[in-house]
Amino acid sequence: MDRSLKVISSLIFIHCSEEDIYLQFVLQKLSRKLLIKMEYIHMKGGDEDTSYARNSTFQRNLMSKSSSKLEEAVRKVVLLCLNQKTLISSSIGVADLGCASGPNAFILLSDIIHAINKICSSDEIELLPELRLSLNDLPGNDFNSIFASLPDFYSTIKPDNGGIGGCFVSCVAGTFYGRLFPRRSLHLVHSSTSLHWLSQVPPELQNSGEHLNKGNTYISKSSAECVREAYLRQFQKDFFSFLRCRADEMVPGGQMVLSFIGRVSPDPAAPEAAQAWEILAQALITMASRGKLEEEKIDAFNAPYYAASAAEVEAVILQEGSFAADCLQEYEVRWDQGFHDDGDQSRVLMTKGQRFGRMARAVAEPMIEWSFGFGEDDMDELFQVYDNLVDDHFAGAGAAAPYFINLHLSLTRKDN
């Protein structure tokens, strides 16, 4: 079935012009069908205790580290529109890719609106521009909770609250590794803590008929060279597609602000890139030893994830050629960062392992449920094991707490 859909969709690509709206619609439907197998990548929806909405302070902190770069990008966009005399005559197109659900998506939109207001008032621009704000994620995302929060969001940005000229929010379901928006419709693209997710598990690891990465859930010290290479190839292919699609969708001079998990070490199995997955593998192996799943399922599982190095990211940007990199920075983010300031009193007695485990569960639960068929009780047990392992890890690490590397990139769409 998958194969025939692929053939039909590539035929449509060959035989239709991009302007043919009906065929584009059919094509979108087909590519969604092809994507169904990756629908397990989404954060845990709703607003219960284990949801992403209630466990995303970590990602919120990462996002806030890019706020000065975001403000800089907004300034460039406002100046671009002023120079082209389009600031008031047409709207500014903004997209947040991989928005998930919960407060973070709206915090970002508010930050952008605030930055535009600030720049317009400091430059004495009286008529404020109109904004098209698009929130994107995969179809399995909890868009319903975003829709439900929209009225509150709109009420906070009314003109009498010092808000923008007009602001129109839409949600776009689909993969950011494909086209999502019309040509040259976006001025500013943002994505935070999302681009380390690949479009798929590298096909070499799924289709070879044997388990090439036995006992691991991601690249680890024991992974063969062919596993490391397969992951790198998948990242290169995906990031190239991401840039090529955005190049089509953005206006020349448009700005892109991206941040995602990466690494500083040349070794893809370095702790900053692989430790959290190794702990998940250990927790799954413990569950297998308790008879809760077959080990074979762990051998068959590989995370669709890649923590790239700055050099790997830069090489793809150069190869693709549509963007100039204004800034590429790496910084360390401790696993326990922000625990003390998330304002949730009910969690002050929790261990670091439990708090990190909450965040990891909100991110990984849909994927684990789909891959291992765990129900609520098994999931609770798995994450109790996981939390204890993370606590052991903190205890062993002493003052040098485990950390991720966050890569930050500011890019300008070139005039080509």
**Site for ligand SAM, rule CB under 6 A:** 41-43, 56, 59, 63, 97-100, 104, 136-138, 141, 175-177, 192-194, 197, 199, 363
User: Half-sphere exposure of 411 toward its Cβ, with a 13 Å CA cutoff?
Assistant: 30
Nearer to ligand SAM, 128 or 363 (CB): 363
Nearer to ligand SAM, 103 or 271 (CB): 103
Nearer to ligand SAM, 41 or 74 (CB): 41
Nearer to ligand SAM, 51 or 322 (CB): 51
Q: How far is the CB of 367 from ligand SAM (least distance, A)?
A: 10
Question: Residue 160 is encoded by which pair of tokens?
Answer: 């009498």
Class of residue 60 by CB neighbours under 10 A (exposed 0-12, middle 13-18, buried 19+): middle
Q: How far is the CB of 78 from ligand SAM (least distance, A)?
A: 23
Task: Note the Cα 82 to chain centre separation in Å.
Answer: 31
Radius of gyration (C-alpha) of the chain in whole angstroms: 22
Cα 251 to Cα 181, 248, 298, 360, distances in angstroms: 12, 8, 45, 36
Nearer to ligand SAM, 56 or 91 (CB): 56
Q: Does residue 366 contact residue 43 with C-beta atoms inside 8 Å?
A: yes
Q: How far is the CB of 338 from ligand SAM (least distance, A)?
A: 12
Q: Does residue 280 contact residue 213 with C-beta atoms inside 8 Å?
A: no
> Cα angle at 243 between 301 and 314, to 5 degrees?
85
Nearer to ligand SAM, 43 or 120 (CB): 43
For residues 286 and 221, give the distance between their C-alpha atoms in angstroms, rounded to a whole number: 20
Which helix or strand (DSSP H or E) is residue 211 part of?
none
State which residue has the least CB distance to ligand SAM.
Answer: 98
Nearer to ligand SAM, 32 or 75 (CB): 32
The one-letter amino acid at 384: Q
Closest CA to 248 of 181, 315, 199: 181
Q: How far is the CB of 38 from ligand SAM (least distance, A)?
A: 7
Nearer to ligand SAM, 81 or 105 (CB): 105
Nearer to ligand SAM, 41 or 205 (CB): 41
Q: How far is the CB of 102 from ligand SAM (least distance, A)?
A: 7
**Residue at token pair 């840039």:** 243
Question: Residue 167 is encoded by which pair of tokens?
Answer: 């602001």
Question: Residue 231 is encoded by which pair of tokens?
Answer: 């992951």
Q: How far is the CB of 41 from ligand SAM (least distance, A)?
A: 5
Q: How far is the CB of 311 from ligand SAM (least distance, A)?
A: 23
Cα 105 to Cα 60, 110, 318, 351, 382, distances in angstroms: 9, 9, 30, 28, 29
Q: How far is the CB of 194 from ligand SAM (least distance, A)?
A: 3
Nearer to ligand SAM, 87 or 358 (CB): 358
User: Half-sphere exposure of 400 toward its Cβ, with a 13 Å CA cutoff?
Assistant: 4
For residues 171 and 129, give the distance between their C-alpha atoms in angstroms, rounded to a whole number: 21
Q: How far is the CB of 127 from ligand SAM (least distance, A)?
A: 31
Question: Mapped to the 3 state alphabet, what secondary structure does 253-305 carry?
Answer: EEEEEEEEEEECCCCCCCHHHHHHHHHHHHHHHHHHHCCCCCHHHHHHCCCCE
Nearer to ligand SAM, 353 or 366 (CB): 366
Residue 8: CB atoms within 10 Å: 13
Task: Reduce the DSSP state of residue 192 to 3 states and report it.
Answer: strand
Q: How far is the CB of 132 from ligand SAM (least distance, A)?
A: 18
Q: How far is the CB of 179 from ligand SAM (least distance, A)?
A: 12
